[in-house]
Structure 1
Amino acid sequence: MMNAILFTMLGFGLMEFSGWFIHKYIMHGPLWSIHKTHHQPSKSFFELNDLFSLLFGSIAIILIILGVEHLDYRFWLGLGISIYGMSYFILHDVLIHRRLKWFDRPGNTFLKGIFKAHQAHHATNKKKDAVSFGLFIVPKKYFK
């Protein structure tokens, strides 16, 4: 049971780190043509940028399928990635960008800091001028 918890937490944590890295160096790099749709006003509910969610979700599903028979580390890593994805959807798409208006804007200090960091990230719609690429781990200055 302890391994299940540790691998689930590892999957979640790896997504925050790899998400930051991919966001900064790949989405704001060679795949900017896809990601820029997230930095531009949209008249549609979906953006081309949503393809990244399908990619990460596919990785989670593959890991879960590969590990489900024995409930090995792959299953729990996939579960951690899935929990991260669900958290990302609620925080990023629902609370921050209001793609679905299920809740009011965040009220607690932690969520307000994340919201401010994301606003700073979207202060530009250019490839190179963006800041704050993480979702849950953001610089302390946004919590003041």
Structure 2
Amino acid sequence: MILYAIGWTLAGFLVMELAGWFIHKYLMHGPLWGIHKTHHQASKGFFELNDVFSLLFGGVAVLLIFLGVEALDYRFWMGVGITTYGMLYFFLHDVLIHRRLKWFDKPRNWFLRGIFKAHQAHHITNKKDDAVSFGLFFVPKKYFKTK
């Protein structure tokens, strides 16, 4: 049972990273740019219209957990994996990278620094078509180089 739970939790996490990359590249920087562009502009407040995507992804996780909680089946554990992804996303993206909450300085760890650099490269442009690096955890190796 424990390996079942761990496996489906990891699957939920991985599916969220892959789906997040695809949604970010092809939908947010495509037909949903009108919503996502608020993330590429200077914020006028704590929240931005782009935060609606977090609510959507969180809603999927809650639904999966709710549907699978009675039997503790794969839906429950996938929901846990998506929730774990969301919590790490909030910490990395909103706290460490964009400093919406100023809890920490810029990351010093090589892995976190690589994620930070990749996201900075993504934000070099505020245009729909010129962005690079759409994932959060799986980013090109070049961002992990120290030079």
Same fold (TM over 0.5): yes
Give the gaps of 5 or more residues in structure 2.
none
Residues 16-66 of structure 1: CA deviation (Å, up to 9, x unaligned): 000000000000000000000000001210000000000000000000000
CA–CA distance in structure 1, aligned partners of residues 16 and 120 of structure 2: 21
Structure 1 residue runs of 4 or more that deviate by more than 3 Å after TM superposition? none
CA–CA distance in structure 2, aligned partners of residues 73 and 33 of structure 1: 35
**TM (normalized to structure 2)?**
0.97
Matching residue of 2:20: 19
CA–CA distance in structure 2, aligned partners of residues 108 and 143 of structure 1: 10
Matching residue of 1:126: 127
Residues 92-125 of structure 1: CA deviation (Å, up to 9, x unaligned): 0000000001122111100000000000000000
CA–CA distance in structure 2, aligned partners of residues 88 and 107 of structure 1: 18
Matching residue of 2:32: 31
CA–CA distance in structure 2, aligned partners of residues 9 and 80 of structure 1: 6
CA–CA distance in structure 2, aligned partners of residues 137 and 127 of structure 1: 21
Matching residue of 2:83: 82
User: How far off its partner does 1:84 sit?
Assistant: 0.1
Q: Which deviates further from its counterpart, 37-46 or 102-111?
A: 102-111
CA–CA distance in structure 1, aligned partners of residues 11 and 127 of structure 2: 32
Aligned length: 144
Aligned residues with identical type, % of pairs? 76
Matching residue of 1:139: 140
Matched, 1:97 2:101: no
CA–CA distance in structure 2, aligned partners of residues 103 and 86 of structure 1: 16
User: How far off its partner does 1:9 sit?
Assistant: 0.2
User: How far off its partner does 1:137 sit?
Assistant: 0.4
Pairwise CA RMSD of aligned residues? 0.4
Matching residue of 2:48: 47
